[in-house]
Amino acid sequence: MHSVPKRSVIAASLVCALLALTGCSQSQIYAADKASGVYVAIPNGWHKISSAALTKAESKSTAPGAADRLANVVWQEAYSTSLKTKALNALSLDPTEGAVVYIRVRDLNYDDMNSISYNSLRDLIVPLTTWLGDPAKANEKFVLHDDVERVEKVARGVRTTFTFGGPLGVTQTIDQTSLVSDDHTRIYILIVRATTKYFKKHVKELQAIGDSFTVRGNK
């Protein structure tokens, strides 16, 4: 399912967004954190879920290590095709109406810095490494569509697209890009997900979001 990013087109679009040139088209939303040098192009008309809303929802988590991870978040933002999607929905794997995009930049603690690998980047939301290594332990609906290395200016990692049987028995497809900075101090995450039925119908639009993910590093 992976398509090669058209860097020249993406770069031109980002220049339009950052410099606000009057001749540039406003057909997309440019999610960006200039401080960490992260940019993503979102289709126009999608509903934004703010960093503040995501932080508030995540702060209620009682999962082990959740508070420490939240404290190290540099920036996060989410978008959805549906106004019904709230912050908690964006942070979970629960099926939603339409599609959801979640972007996160987080600093790593000392233990994470020493243990981060391509496998751990793949395993951020589901245990993909285990599923791939032992099919008997895999999710019954698991299908790997693509798994490629992704290299950016200051970071590298993997982009993996897969289908699995998610919560409530609904099959979902996820396009996940997980990168670690070259000095292993920060991770950059982009998750594009939807029910498999929706993803197949809108595959070009959703893949383009993953293609547009750009990491240039701190300014």
Contact 193, 177 (CB under 8 A): no
pLDDT at 11: 42
Let me know if residue 157 belongs to a domain.
yes
Q: Is residue 2 assigned to a domain?
A: no
Given a cut of 70, whether residue 5 has pLDDT beyond it is no
Tens digit of pLDDT for each residue in 99-154?
999 999 999 988 888 899 999 999 999 999 999 999 999 999 999 999 999 999 99
Q: What is the mean pLDDT of the chain?
A: 89
9-59 tens-digit pLDDT: 444 444 444 434 333 456 789 999 999 999 999 999 999 999 999 999 999
128 within domain boundaries: yes
Residue 1 lies in a domain: no
Residue 193 has pLDDT above 90, yes or no: yes
Residue 79, C-beta contacts closer than 8 angstroms, at least 6 positions apart: 29, 31, 42, 46, 47, 48, 49, 100, 101
- CATH number reported for the structural domain that contains residue 62 in this entry: 3.40.1000.10
CA distances from 21 to 16, 43, 140 (A): 6, 19, 50
Q: Is the dihedral of CA 205, 212, 43, 79 positive or negative?
A: positive
d(CA 212, CA 136): 35
On whether the CB atoms of residues 97 and 82 are closer than 8 A, the answer is yes
Q: Which residues contact 186 (CB under 8 A, 6 or more apart)?
A: 36, 74, 105, 106, 107, 108, 155, 180
Number of domains in the chain: 1
**What is the average pLDDT across 56-83?**
93
Best CA proximity match to 211, nearest among 162, 154, 148, 166: 148
pLDDT at 17: 45
Q: pTM score, two decimals?
A: 0.86
- Enumerate the H helices of 49-123 as residue ranges: 51-58, 66-71, 87-91, 110-115, 118-122
Burial call 177-197: b when 16+ CB within 10 Å, e when fewer: bbbbbeeeebbbbbbbbbbbe
Domain that holds residue 51: 7-215
Spatial distance between the Cα atoms of 30 and 16, rounded to a whole number of angstroms: 10
